[in-house]
Amino acid sequence: MNRSSVLERLRAAAPVIAPSMLKCDFGNMHREMQLLADADAAVFHLDVMDGHFVPNLSYGPMVINSLRTMTDHPFDAHLMISNPDRFLDDYIDAGCDLITIHIEAVPDPTSLLQRIKSADVGCGLALNPGTPVSKLLPYLDDCDLVLVMSVEPGFGGQSFIPDAIPKIAQLRQLVGSEKLVSVDGGIGEATIARTAAAGADIFVAGSAIFDAHDYRAAIRQLVELASGAARTV
């Protein structure tokens, strides 16, 4: 799927619940992918961690390439890694449709964002809870998506950090309606409405989906809560 098609598809589907594959059953990935597809998940969020940029390890391009054979759903790869320029082509070749890098890992991401777009892949910039929105300002025109971390990156199941709300609102005002605003961390029934009201389009959810007995019901409930939240920006 090309870059423009993916971005158009996600804008049209908003609010989008993006299952965080970090929380799935790695012993039965084919079943998990099918259950999520049957639950009308619009995109799969792939958390890539290197044990250096964040204190945890997850999976890399070889695993993503294997997953790519199981579905044609869009893959949203969140690279929580140091030196993403060294490995970027591997994730492009693995079939990622969106690739997000961290401003903390690449102080000047301009060339990397352009490189991602030149491969016809959507490009995103993420910022950690302790990083101000101002760090992204010079690069907003170059990216298709901005991702606000509402927990410290590296582990699933953490509690939502409320300081993410004003960041989401500020970014929504800055980027308008053409770019996607995503939020990742602690998203569930108690937090999704506030992030939707602040202006988020994509909601990365792990425990709220994978701890449920019925993925379809869990995703539907999150969509309803996000849809029912009156946007304040």
The pLDDT-based confidence of 28 (bands split at 50, 70, 90) is very high
CB of 139 closer than 8 Å to CB of 113: yes
Q: pLDDT (tens digit, 9 = 90+) per residue, 201-217?
A: 999 999 999 999 999 99
The pLDDT-based confidence of 158 (bands split at 50, 70, 90) is confident
CB of 139 closer than 8 Å to CB of 110: yes
Show which residues are catalytic. Answer: 47, 184
Question: Within a 10 A sphere around the Cβ of 218, how many other Cβ atoms?
Answer: 22
CB of 146 closer than 8 Å to CB of 124: yes
Between CA 189 and CA 131 the distance in angstroms is: 26
Q: pLDDT (tens digit, 9 = 90+) per residue, 58-108?
A: 999 999 999 999 999 999 999 999 999 999 999 999 999 999 999 999 989
pLDDT above 70: percentage of residues in the chain? 97
- Tell me which of 184 and 232 has the higher pLDDT: 184
Burial (Cβ within 10 Å: 0-12, 13-18, ≥19) of residue 72: exposed
Between CA 67 and CA 24 the distance in angstroms is: 13
The pLDDT-based confidence of 1 (bands split at 50, 70, 90) is confident
CATH entry 1.10.10.60 includes domain 3-227: no
pLDDT surpasses 90 at 197: yes
Domain regions of the chain by residue span: 3-227
**Weakest-pLDDT range from 76-85, 118-127, 137-146, 152-161:** 152-161
CB of 146 closer than 8 Å to CB of 179: yes
Give the pLDDT mean for 171-193: 95
Give the pLDDT mean for 33-47: 95
Instruction: State the pLDDT at residue 7.
Output: 96
Instruction: State the pLDDT at residue 156.
Output: 64
Instruction: State the pLDDT at residue 230.
Output: 60
Say if residue 15 is preceded by a cis peptide, omega within 30 of 0. Answer: yes
CB of 65 closer than 8 Å to CB of 96: no
pLDDT surpasses 80 at 8: yes
